Each structure stands twice: as structure tokens, then as C-alpha cells.
Amino acid sequence: MNQVQIMSVIGSAVPASLRASGLLACWYLVLNGEPVSGPLTSLTAAQALSQRIGDGSFSA
């Protein structure tokens, strides 16, 4: 069974648009090594989306 994981990135790995807003970290949801979400601005948001995907209540 595939599992969605939360990956954090910091510093120069953060997209320039987010760094320009002052964010030094962001989070992605990853499935089988491939991002399945855009950059999320908080760990709480990443956890909530991960839960929704796990429940099957998320549609892209």
C-alpha cells in the first residue's frame, strides 16, 4: 500500500516566491518519491491535507 509522506524543504530549496514572502521553509506531500502537492506554507496544512488524502476525501 502506498503511503503519503510529508517532506520539508528549507533555505534555497524553498520556491523563490515563498522566500520573497519571508518563508524559509515549506512542505510537500510525496507519494513514491514524487510530489503530489504544491508547496504548503505550514506543517499543519501539510498534515491536514495528508489526512484528507488518507481518508479518500481529497480530489485533485
Give per-residue pLDDT as tens, 36-55: 999 999 999 999 999 988 77
> CA-based angle 44:30:24, to the nearest 5?
50
Residue 47 pLDDT? 96
Mean pLDDT of the chain: 90
Distances, alpha carbon 46 to alpha carbons 32, 37, 39, 53, 57, in Å: 17, 9, 9, 11, 15
**Residue 18: pLDDT band with limits 50, 70, 90:** very high
Is residue 27 pLDDT above 90, yes or no?
yes
Expressed as residue numbers, the domain containing 17 is 4-55
Number of domains in the chain: 1
In a domain, 60, yes or no: no
In a domain, 45, yes or no: yes
Is residue 6 pLDDT above 80, yes or no?
yes
In a domain, 29, yes or no: yes
pTM of the model: 0.83
Shortest CA distance to 40 belongs to which of 50, 52, 53?
50
